[in-house]
Amino acid sequence: MTASWAQTERSGWLCKLYGKIDESGSKKLPEESVQSQIVGILEVLLSFDTSPKDSAAKTASLILSREDVDTPWNNLLGLILDAAENFTEEKELGALVDYVVELASLPDAVNEAPETKILEKLSIEPGQAIVFEEGKLWSDLPGFSANVTERFQGT
């Protein structure tokens, strides 16, 4: 189930948004893309090959390594909610919940890179905290509540 979910995510909305035309003329999500790597982290988590804590740390490292933090963070929110809709077993859903809790437990993100990061059209200078309009990355899980509300409204 997990591999099938991951493939659907990579070939679905993520491919439509971030896919590249390969040498055969097919549009595919590049394996090295941040989106594909996030799917990989979630796939390993939901296969129980790593802990929620390790998955959260790896996700944070990956997202914070990018100049644009906003896009992969929002992609992650979509992937978490897609997983919550697609997995029905308590064990997988529990791992997903534990992962979100671990993300929120991480120390608040600071731009430790030497260059400016882009966040919601704001510039986050080196040494500054990464704060969205909705709150701090990670403790406030910015946008999570709004995404959950929007996704499940009327269901």
Q: Mark out the alpha helices in the chain (DSSP H runs).
A: 2-11, 13-18, 34-46, 52-64, 70-86, 90-105, 144-152
| Better-predicted residue by pLDDT, 118 or 4 | 4
- Residue 89, in any domain of the structure: yes
Residue 21 has which token pair? 């035309």
pTM of the shown model? 0.93
In whole angstroms, what is the distance from residue 104 CA to residue 42 CA? 16
> In this predicted structure, which of 46-50, 119-123, 135-139 has the lowest mean pLDDT?
119-123
Q: Decide if 46 is inside a domain.
A: yes
Does residue 74 fall inside a structural domain? yes
Q: Is residue 41 part of a domain?
A: yes
pLDDT at 120: 75
The answer to whether residue 119 scores a pLDDT higher than 70 is: yes
**Does 154 have pLDDT greater than 80?**
no
Residue 113 lies in a domain: no
Backbone angles phi, psi at 33, to 5 degrees: -65, 150
Average pLDDT over residues 69-90: 95
Decide the pairing of beta strands 117-119 and 122-124: antiparallel
Domain count, the chain: 1
**What is the span of the domain harbouring residue 83?**
2-107+144-152
Please state which of the ranges 11-25, 35-49, 117-131 shows the lowest mean pLDDT: 117-131
